[in-house]
Amino acid sequence: MQAAQEPSQATGKGARVGDSAMSRARCKGKPEPHTTIATPAGARKISELRVGDWVYSVDHDQVVPVPIAAVKQRPARSHVVPQVLLENGRVLQISAAHPTADGRTFGDLRAGDRLGELRVKSVELVTYEHPFTYDILPASDTGFYFASGALIGSTLAPRAGELVCETRTEVPE
């Protein structure tokens, strides 16, 4: 696959994450509503995207605009998520079980790791403050999309449906 270059700039507190705390925060989940997604028209909030809207994805080893095949909004109750600070200064709050584009999950990420073409500066567990989580499925052979500048996977892709949900109600200290 060609190196996935971000086609458009996309934008998007708590305790330090320990391995056991992160494993307890796993849940089928999605980005927070203000996470921005790269589209041919510029960055758009994931909460505003609908089926048929166009986003950038990787399809047949190329970064191309594709329509959105599916969208999902789920209630978020007592949800704790990794907050990932990227080297571009943007922040992602995405559930620990959400897939990355390289087969890991957000719960696997640690400072110094790469998320697509970007380096992760820090990872913390934080209480999710929004009433809903969101996800999209681009109509591409990968289902990947660019969130806050990073190429990530989708929980709506067939292989993501096997994730197990667990939640924590408090942020570990």
The tens digit of pLDDT for each residue in 98-126 reads: 999 999 999 999 999 999 999 999 999 99
* Residues sharing a CB contact under 8 Å with residue 104, sequence separation 6 or more, in sequence order: none
Q: How far apart are CA 128 and CA 143, in angstroms?
A: 25
* pLDDT for res 70: 97
Residue 163 has what pLDDT? 39
Segment 42-66, tens digit of pLDDT = 999 999 999 999 999 999 999 999 9
- The CA distance from 151 to 145, in Å, is 6
Q: Say whether 161 sits in a helix, a strand or coil.
A: helix
* Per-residue pLDDT band at 86 (split at 50, 70, 90): very high
Let me know: does 163 contact 64? Beta carbons within 8 Å.
no
| Per-residue confidence (pLDDT) for residue 13, from 0 to 100 | 31
Q: From the CB of residue 142, how many other CB atoms can be counted at a distance below 10 Å?
A: 19
Query: What is the C-alpha separation between 111 and 74, in angstroms, rounded?
Result: 28
3-class SS at 106? Answer: helix
Helix (H, G, I), strand (E, B) or coil at 102: coil
pTM > 0.95: yes or no: no
* Residue 138 · residue 46 · CB < 8 Å: no
CB half-sphere exposure, 140, CA atoms < 13 A: 26
Structural domains of the chain in order of their starting residue, each with its CATH number: 15-162 (2.170.16.10)
